[in-house]
C-alpha cells in the first residue's frame, strides 16, 4: 500500500470516529452528569494513551521530559482535559447536539483571533471576512434561523460552547513551544488533569454509580475522542508528509467532512431532527474555516 493510500485510510478513520463523538457525548450525558462523564472518560483515555505509547515504543519518552516541560504539562492539563471538557460537556448538557457540535467547530477561528495578541500575528481583511462568515453561521444555528429576532435557543449553552473554543485555542498556542513527543505530552496532560477532575467531581457532583450505557459511553469518549484518534491523525499526517504521500493539505481537508457526517449520526443515534438552520449555519462556519485555511496555506 502506498503512503498516499495509508494517509487517506488513517485520515478517513480519524474523521469517521470524530464524526461519532458528538452523539457519544449526548447519549452518555443521559446517564452521567458532565463531571462524572469527564472523570470516567479521562480514566479511559489514560489507558488508551498508555497503550498507544507502549505500542509505539515511546514509554521511554516520558523519562526525557524536563522539569520545565512537566510544568507546562501541568498547565495544559488544567486547560485540557479539565477546564475544556468541563465547559464542553456542560454545553452539550444544555444544548441539542446539532447546535453544540457546530459551535464548538469555531475553535479554528478563535485560534486565529487569539494568535493576534498572544503570538503577534497580523489580521488581514480576508481573516476578518472569514471570522464574520463563521460567526454569522453561529448566529444562524443559535437562533434556529430567526436571525432578525436574535432570540437564542439557550444563551448559557451557546456561551459555554463558544467559551470552550477559547480554552482549546489556548491549548494549541501554549503547546507550540513544547518539545515533548506529542503523544507523550498528551498523556502527561491527562495524567495531571485527572486529579483536578476527581477533586471537582467530589466537590460539585458525586462519584458515578455503575450504569452500563454510561460506562460504555464514557469508555468510548475516552478511548476515541481523547485518545486513539490523536495517534491515528498524527499517523495520517506522517504518511501524507512523505514524498509520495500526496501532501498534508490533502488529508487536512478531510476534516471538513466531519461536522456534516456528525449531523447524520446525531439524527439516527441521538434521535434529533436536524433543522435546516443547523445545516445552513454549519455551511457558513465551514466556509469561514476554509477561507482561513486557504489564506494560511498561501
Residue 295 has pLDDT above 60, yes or no: no
Band (34; pLDDT cuts 50, 70, 90): very high
Q: Which residue has the higher pLDDT, 21 or 147?
A: 21
For residue 215, what are the contacts with CB-CB under 8 A and spacing of at least 6? Answer: 40, 208
Name the nearest CA neighbour of 237 among 255, 221, 224, 219: 255
Cell representation of residue 188: 502527561
Name the nearest CA neighbour of 92 among 45, 161, 156: 161
Neighbours of 207 (CB within 10 A): 11
For residue 246, what are the contacts with CB-CB under 8 A and spacing of at least 6? Answer: 3, 4, 7, 8, 240
Quote the pLDDT of residue 98.
93
Quote the pLDDT of residue 146.
82
Q: What percent of the chain is modeled with pLDDT above 90?
A: 57
Residue 149 has pLDDT above 70, yes or no: no
Whole-structure pTM over 0.75, yes or no? yes
DSSP letter at 273 equals: P
CA distances from 240 to 10, 162, 179, 235 (A): 10, 31, 22, 9
Quote the pLDDT of residue 164.
95
241-275 pLDDT, tens digit per residue, is 887 777 777 777 788 889 899 999 999 999 999 99
Amino acid at each position: 500500500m502506498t503512503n498516499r493510500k495509508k494517509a487517506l485510510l488513517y485520515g478517513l478513520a480519524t474523521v469517521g470516529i470524530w464524526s461519532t463523538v458528538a452523539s457519544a457525548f449526548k447519549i452518555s450525558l443521559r446517564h452521567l452528569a458532565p463531571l462524572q462523564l469527564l472523570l470516567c472518560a479521562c480514566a479511559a483515555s489514560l489507558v488508551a494513551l498508555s497503550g498507544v505509547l507502549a505500542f509505539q515504543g515511546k514509554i521511554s519518552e516520558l523519562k526525557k521530559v524536563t522539569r520545565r516541560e512537566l510544568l507546562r504539562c501541568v498547565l495544559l492539563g488544567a486547560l485540557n482535559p479539565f477546564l475544556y471538557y468541563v465547559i464542553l460537556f456542560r454545553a452539550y448538557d444544555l444544548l441539542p447536539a446539532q447546535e453544540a457540535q457546530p459551535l464548538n467547530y469555531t475553535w479554528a477561528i478563535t485560534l486565529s483571533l487569539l494568535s493576534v495578541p498572544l503570538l503577534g500575528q497580523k489580521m488581514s481583511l480576508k481573516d476578518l471576512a472569514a471570522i464574520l462568515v463563521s460567526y454569522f453561521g453561529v448566529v444562524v444555528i443559535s437562533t434556529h434561523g430567526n436571525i432578525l429576532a436574535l432570540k437564542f435557543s439557550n444563551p448559557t449553552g451557546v456561551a459555554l460552547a463558544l467559551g470552550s473554543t477559547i480554552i482549546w485555542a489556548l491549548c494549541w498556542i501554549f503547546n507550540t513551544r513544547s518539545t515533548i513527543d506529542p503523544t507523550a505530552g498528551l498523556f502527561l496532560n491527562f495524567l495531571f488533569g485527572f486529579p483536578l477532575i476527581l477533586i471537582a467531581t467530589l466537590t460539585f457532583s458525586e462519584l458515578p454509580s455503575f450504569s452500563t450505557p454510561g460506562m460504555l459511553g464514557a469508555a468510548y469518549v475516552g478511548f476515541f475522542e481523547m485518545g486513539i484518534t490523536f495517534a491515528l491523525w498524527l499517523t495520517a499526517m506522517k504518511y501524507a508528509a512523505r514524498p509520495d504521500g500526496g501532501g498534508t493539505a490533502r488529508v487536512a481537508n478531510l476534516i471538513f467532512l466531519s461536522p456534516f457526517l456528525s449531523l447524520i449520526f446525531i439524527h439516527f443515534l441521538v434521535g434529533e431532527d436536524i433543522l435546516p438552520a443547523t445545516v445552513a449555519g454549519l455551511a457558513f462556519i465551514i466556509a469561514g474555516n476554509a477561507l482561513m485555511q486557504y489564506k494560511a496555506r498561501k
